[in-house]
Structure 1
Amino acid sequence: MQKSFEEALKHRRTYYSISNQSPISDKEIERIVDFAVTNVPSAFNSQSTRVVLLLGENHKKLWEIVKDTLRKIVPSEAFKSTEAKIDNCFESGYGTILFFEDQRVVKDLQAQFPGYKDNFPGWSLQTSAMHQLAIWVMLEDAGLGASLQHYNPLIDEEVRHTWGLPHSWHLIAEMPFGAPVQGPGEKEFEPLSERVKVFK
């Protein structure tokens, strides 16, 4: 990481205007994903997160699936703007990272530790969120812009079928990324006094 952790976290933003270029190699993108999956913590060391990296035509295929799926349920007059956003903000990028949680792992832990049964689904989502943030920050630090999207569960079955993924893999989020074309929008912050309490 070129920046300090604090700097990288501060500069992580949502980019909707991205191109199909990358300032780093595919191998370096894979290294970022591998590093996060190896080192991000999980409850009970469950390692339930599964990540799929889509590049090239596979990246484009995902967003065609999204459009084909939405075309069936979104009114035609509204679909035009939806299609334009997908084309110009997501499919226009260099790649997409899919985040899954393996429900087989979650169910196995529920069986092994029945006293925590109700907690494991929530802990699984927390694990996924940490993976999403870690990868997002590292992509940003490498010069890539990204955003986090949620077209699941509408596309889940088609995604699993297209890439031959196990049925136990539950899609959580999609992260399109690419070289930023425009800067992110302004970000407003709620007062810390309303968000953080300190007792000494």
Structure 2
Amino acid sequence: MNVTDLLKDRRSIYALGKDIPVSDDEVIAFIKETTALVPDAFNMKSQRVVVALGDKQDQLWDTIYDAFGGKVAREKIDSFKAAHGTVLYFYDEATVKGLQEQFPLYAANFPIWAQQSNGMLQINIWTGLRALGIGANIQHYNPVIDDAVKKLFNVPENYVLVAQMPFGGILEEAAPKDGEDINARVQIEK
């Protein structure tokens, strides 16, 4: 597959199951390698990832449900809990602040660049999981869940939670995307 085909195949898959077509070791190795390869301004290496599997996967989504005090439908949370695992995306605020101090001229940009790098990490992992035959979707229950997630996984206070990506076996493919006139969003100048 070429890159465009991989990106077309990457979709938000919500019907996820526990069984995946590859081993956890393969998934973990892929996530580690992708995290090492993702670009980050000034090579700051600000990205942090936690992968929840097994009992921690279930505990994560129970913790998220509890953090909302029942204000999010249990069925919705259980659909994410039913997945094989979840990738939690963070960036390290201490790393960002260190570079802000080191390069004050660019200080305002480092948080933006950390977010951009996190987005690149997310799309690369998401696309790569799909290439492995695994479905995923992206969730944003932060900041409500931030403290509970940090406590559950014992992550440092300086980690900023950006997104949660449940992943698992594909139980049902996503519906076809609606077409669009891409020229409304892409302008070419010569």
TM-score (norm 2): 0.97
Deviations 1:137-178 (A, max 9, x none): 000010011000001111111111111111100100000001
| Equivalent residue for 2:86, pick from 62, 83, 96 | 96
Q: SS where residue 95 of structure 2 aligns?
A: helix
1:71-86, aligned counterparts within 5 Å? 71=69, 74=71, 79=72, 82-86=73-77
After superposition, the CA RMSD in angstroms is 1.1
1:12-91, aligned counterparts within 5 Å? 12-71=10-69, 74=71, 79=72, 82-88=73-79, 90-91=80-81
Unaligned runs of 5+ in 1: none
Quote the offset at 1:190 in angstroms: 3.2
Match of 1:187 in 2: 177
Quote the offset at 1:189 in angstroms: 4.1
| Equivalent residue for 2:120, pick from 116, 124, 130 | 130
Q: Do the aligned residues in 1 keep the contact of 2:67 with 2:148 (CA within 8 Å)?
A: no
Task: Give runs of ≥4 in structure 1 deviating > 3 Å.
Answer: none
Unaligned runs of 5+ in 2: none
Deviations 1:30-66 (A, max 9, x none): 0110111111111110110000011000011100001
Amino acid at match of 1:197: Q
Match of 1:175 in 2: 165
Amino acid at match of 1:58: K
Amino acid at match of 2:76: K
Give me the whole-angstrom Cα distance separating, in 2, the residues matched to 1:192 and 1:154: 35
Q: SS where residue 18 of structure 1 aligns?
A: strand
Q: SS where residue 198 of structure 1 aligns?
A: coil
TM-score (norm 1): 0.92
Give me the whole-angstrom Cα distance separating, in 2, the residues matched to 1:168 and 1:189: 41
Sequence identity percentage: 38
| Equivalent residue for 1:4, pick from 2, 5, 28 | 2
Match of 2:103 in 1: 113
